[in-house]
């Protein structure tokens, strides 16, 4: 019985924020589907004047709207979660891209009275190309859940962890992430390692594939971005394509795998070995 209880506690710890992310993303997906259905299956850019049926508008989860925040998130000091939804021209996206998803967690914790009070606001930005179609939904859902788990993980991190991460990230972004050292400051920071690992874990569970398989997909995306000719041609870029590949396939991959082995033991870690969740 004791072993069963300990295993259950591990499962709960590993699933942190996943249930909340799934519920919120499901609601956002329904809004997107309503928008598509109302506009003959195509996303429509909101006109400057006039109106369209079921326009994509931001959704805020807080204590006043959309049923309030889950108690589990309130206890972490997360006060508001906003999904910023919009449709943009296809020319605003990279070749072959139908959407973009990004996130940000803002903190304004206060310890002026000798007791730390957490105050975090999470924002997830979802932009659809006007060429997005219902067939692209599965990929979008995966990315939205990954990003939401990632940002909620930041929302639940301790003030000390976030403070240290903030200093490193400031230094990294001052160089425009244009050096391998800057990429290391950002992507190898413990706060980001935890957030990226948990987001990737969510994607692997959704796709029912080994953790390492989905991790390698994510790494491929990073390499495609940072080693893209346009990025390499920027004035502030001081790394080569080979250095980017080496960093993400070795240093970054190792940091994520090490975190998963220690904190996500139910993940399928090893290539070619069908471990169970």
Q: Is the dihedral of CA 65, 71, 73, 78 positive or negative?
A: positive
> Are 176 and 244 part of one and the same domain?
yes
> Are 74 and 42 part of one and the same domain?
yes
Q: What is the pLDDT of residues 188-217, one digit of tens each?
A: 999 999 999 999 999 998 998 889 999 999
Judged against a pLDDT cut of 90, whether residue 85 lies above it is answered with yes
> Are 174 and 134 part of one and the same domain?
no
Nearest to 11 by CA among 272, 264, 274: 264
Q: Considering the entire predicted model, what is its pTM?
A: 0.86
Nearest to 6 by CA among 71, 153, 14: 14
Band of residue 2 on the pLDDT scale cut at 50, 70, 90: very low
What is the rounded average pLDDT for all residues in the chain?
A: 86
Give the pairing of strands 120-129 and 78-88. Answer: parallel
Mean pLDDT, range 69-80, rounded to an integer: 84
Band of residue 148 on the pLDDT scale cut at 50, 70, 90: very high
- Of residues 205 and 68, the one with the higher pLDDT is 205
> Are 73 and 146 part of one and the same domain?
yes
> Are 144 and 164 part of one and the same domain?
no
Both tokens of residue 272? 């070619």
> Are 121 and 258 part of one and the same domain?
no
Q: Domain end: 86, 119, 153, which one? A: 153
Cα gap 130→132, rounded to integer Å: 6
Cα gap 124→183, rounded to integer Å: 22
> Are 65 and 170 part of one and the same domain?
no
* Domains of the chain: total: 2
Q: Domain end: 89, 122, 153, which one? A: 153
Torsion angle in degrees (nearest 10) through CA of 217, 220, 224, 227:
160
> Are 141 and 79 part of one and the same domain?
yes
Quote the domain boundaries for residue 257.
Answer: 157-277
> Are 50 and 63 part of one and the same domain?
yes
Judged against a pLDDT cut of 90, whether residue 117 lies above it is answered with no
> Are 13 and 139 part of one and the same domain?
yes
Q: Domain end: 153, 173, 198, which one? A: 153
**Rg, Å, the chain Cα set:** 20
3-state secondary structure of 67: coil
Cα gap 58→81, rounded to integer Å: 10
> Are 141 and 185 part of one and the same domain?
no
> Are 101 and 224 part of one and the same domain?
no
Mean pLDDT, range 258-276, rounded to an integer: 69
Band of residue 50 on the pLDDT scale cut at 50, 70, 90: confident
């Amino acid at each position: 019985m004791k072993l069963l209880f300990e295993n259950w506690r591990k499962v709960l710890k590993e699933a942190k924020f996943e249930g909340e992310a799934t519920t919120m993303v499901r609601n956002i997906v329904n809004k997107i589907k309503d928008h598509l259905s109302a506009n003959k299956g195509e996303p429509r850019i909101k006109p400057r004047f006039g109106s369209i049926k079921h326009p994509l508008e931001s959704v805020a989860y807080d204590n006043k709207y959309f049923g309030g925040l889950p108690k589990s998130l309130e206890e972490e000091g997360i006060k508001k979660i906003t999904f910023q939804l919009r449709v943009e021209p296809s020319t605003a996206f990279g070749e072959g891209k139908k959407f973009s998803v990004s996130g940000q967690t803002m903190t304004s914790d206060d310890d002026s009275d000798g007791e730390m009070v957490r105050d975090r606001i999470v924002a997830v930005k979802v932009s659809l190309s006007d060429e997005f179609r219902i067939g692209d939904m599965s990929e979008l859902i995966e990315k939205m859940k990954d990003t939401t788990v990632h940002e909620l993980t930041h929302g639940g991190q301790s003030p000390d962890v976030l403070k240290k991460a903030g200093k490193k990230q400031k230094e990294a972004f001052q160089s425009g992430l244009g050096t391998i050292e800057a990429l290391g400051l950002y992507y190898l920071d413990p706060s980001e390692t935890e957030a990226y690992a948990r987001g990737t874990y969510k994607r692997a569970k959704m796709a029912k594939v080994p953790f390492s398989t989905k991790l390698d997909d994510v790494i491929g995306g990073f390499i495609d971005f940072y080693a893209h000719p346009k990025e390499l041609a920027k004035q502030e870029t001081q790394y080569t394509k080979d250095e980017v590949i080496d960093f993400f396939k070795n240093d970054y991959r190792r940091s994520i795998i090490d975190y998963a082995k220690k904190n996500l033991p139910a993940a399928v870690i090893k290539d070619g070995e069908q471990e169970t969740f």
